[in-house]
Structure 1
Amino acid sequence: MASTPLKETDNRQPLLLGVDGGGTSCRARITDLDGNILGEGFAGSANPRTGLDSACNAIMQATRAAMSKASLEESDLGRIYAGLGLAGVNQQKERDLVLGWGLPFASIFLETDAYAACMGAFNGNDGAILILGTGSCGASLINGEMKTLGGWGFPISDHGSGASLGLAAIRYSLLAHEGMKPETPLSRAIMATFENNPENAVAWQDIALPRDYGAYGPLIVEYIGTNDPLAEQLIQESAEGAAMMIRVLHQRGANQCALVGGLSKFVMPWLPEDVAGIATLPQGDAMQGALVMAKKHATDL
């Protein structure tokens, strides 16, 4: 945990700020000490590894948007106790840079976005999370110790993720197109996105990013509802990848693992029986976890 000293504030009611800052977007939520939400705001990427100034400016932009909705003034910044859950602060160098940038809050509790997600999922109690979005990553928070699992990036890692799901779907569809696997309505729909020409798929893969593979997720989910055998096979494979990670998180001491991310609700019904009782939905989001961090820091000082 990294922090800055508590600043002197006036006698007005202290406020809490929870920030969830990732590589795509930054979200901020302001509450009072009783947890009543006063305002929320949004901005762009807040990953200091890809730009310190842009990350800190995004934090302030999202914070000021939340302050505007809460009818707060610039002078109120000094009574805001901030919990920041940011991507890219795994290393002390990035933490020090963020803390030294000059964010104008009463205090700062700085941790990773995964830490904040864990805190939010179990309201500050022990547990684990499995993020199943475009990528995937597991994390456990046991007795204050944070450990991560997987998340090394697509295509070498990110098991059970949307990108891996899309890759598997395209690979099968190419095989089916050439008669090496049975065609299904889903495989034909996927090949139609390449105008039924494998050469177009090859040209696409040369420039495709993980999110482009993940963009096939909604199509696959649509065909799950029609009992398409390929769609069911693919989601089951994703569930097996998720289960592999849940088992390790459980072995590390997490009695429950909260599934978060856009793919989670579709994977959960397909989880194997041995992990179905461990998997759960989060109690709160990463902004809520960051608020727990902020309140804990404010009361500890």
Structure 2
Amino acid sequence: MKRNLYIGIDGGATKTKVRIEDADGCLLTEAQSGPGTIRTNVSKAWYAIIDGIQTALHKIDLDLYDQTHHYHVGLGLAGTEVAESCEEFLSQAHPFASIALKSDAYTACLGAHQGKEGGIIIIGTGTIGLKIEKGVVTTVGGWGFPHDDEGSGAWLGMEAIRLTLESIDHRREPSDFSKAIFRHFKKDLDHMVTWSNQALPTHFAELAPIVVEYVKRKNPDAIHLVERAGVAIARTYDALVKQSTLPKLPVSLLGGLSHSIEPWLPKRIRTRCKPPQGDATQGAILMIKKSEGFIV
């Protein structure tokens, strides 16, 4: 009799995380691979997912194509708001016994609240708010960059470029922060402008650590950017709460920049945010188990 194993996938713009559990919910292995977003390239996303799963399985001397296991996979992927990408992704042949696909924000929310009602705000390369309440999913933001994602890593990077260009042509006074951004491009204005016109959100987000570093150095320009990010995230929080029927909607802040932006949120929000109980890979496993009737 084949053994059931459950795979949780968290596929984002920069990396894909893999978690594999047995039927009792015991962690067997984990791994990471390349970007798993389906927004721009479905084939590359599938490659990253399979590569990550194989890497994880090989750690415990298993293989995705063996005949001794049923592999059930829950996928939380960035880019699911693009219907055509979802259709293309799900139309591909795969080796899994069952499959369930939702957004990475959805599975992150499931994991953060262990399948119970609640909300999340992800602050990473992009940003999105999402809540699950009485089985109904409500999202705020997350429409993509540059037309949305205010307060995200990509947005911080873009605003840092804008501020630096304004200092170069004397629309504002240069600061240690703007000089640091310019040094990142080896003080080559043509290179910086060309890069900015071609850069993807992940590229802009690579500048966010410079913003965070100069906030620590108390640079006014950098602080102004994270203050603006805090205002944007607060608007996302308020929009989630406004649409909730719960007396106190539990909300968790997630993503690589959440700890850097949280201090710049209003106190009323900071005191109500709750630490996540789990991550998006755990939420993806909860999702596939529920969709297959293994849990209620």
TM-score tier (shorter): 0.7 to 0.9
Matches within 5 A, 1:143-154: 143-154=134-145
Task: Give, in whole Å, the separation in 1 of the partners of 2:287 and 2:225.
Answer: 38
Identity of aligned residues (%): 37
Tell me which residue corresponds to 1:263. 257
1:159 corresponds to 2:150: yes
8 Å contact kept, 1:25–1:46: yes
Tell me which residue corresponds to 1:192. 183
1:15 corresponds to 2:32: no
8 Å contact kept, 1:38–1:69: no
Secondary structure of the residue that 1:236 maps to in structure 2? helix
8 Å contact kept, 1:77–1:105: no
Task: Give, in whole Å, the separation in 2 of the partners of 1:191 and 1:92.
Answer: 39
8 Å contact kept, 1:77–1:104: no
TM-score between the two structures when normalised by the length of structure 2 = 0.85
Say which is worse superposed, 266-275 or 194-203, in terms of deviation: 194-203
1:276 corresponds to 2:270: yes
Change (3 A) 1:92 1:197: closer
Deviations 1:7-45 (A, max 9, x none): xxx2x5532211122344332211123322111233334
8 Å contact kept, 1:119–1:292: yes
Tell me the CA shift for residue 166 of structure 1: 2.0
Name the count of aligned residue pairs. Answer: 291
Tell me the CA shift for residue 158 of structure 1: 0.9
Task: Give, in whole Å, the separation in 2 of the partners of 1:53 and 1:167.
Answer: 28
Deviations 1:149-184 (A, max 9, x none): 212222221110112212222333333445543443
Q: Which amino acid aligns with 1:32?
A: D
1:36 corresponds to 2:30: no
Say which is worse superposed, 127-136 or 78-87, in terms of deviation: 78-87
Secondary structure of the residue that 2:144 maps to in structure 1? coil
Tell me the CA shift for residue 248 of structure 1: 0.5
Say which is worse superposed, 56-65 or 128-137, in terms of deviation: 56-65
Secondary structure of the residue that 2:17 maps to in structure 1? strand
Deviations 1:221-273 (A, max 9, x none): 11222222222222111111111111101112271222222111100111112
Task: Give, in whole Å, the separation in 2 of the partners of 1:91 and 1:296.
Answer: 24
8 Å contact kept, 2:13–2:125: no
RMSD of Structure 2 on Structure 1 (CA) = 2.8
Change (3 A) 1:77 1:258: farther
Tell me which residue corresponds to 2:284. 290
Tell me which residue corresponds to 1:101. 92
Name the larger-Rg structure.
1
Task: Give, in whole Å, the separation in 2 of the partners of 1:80 and 1:107.
Answer: 7
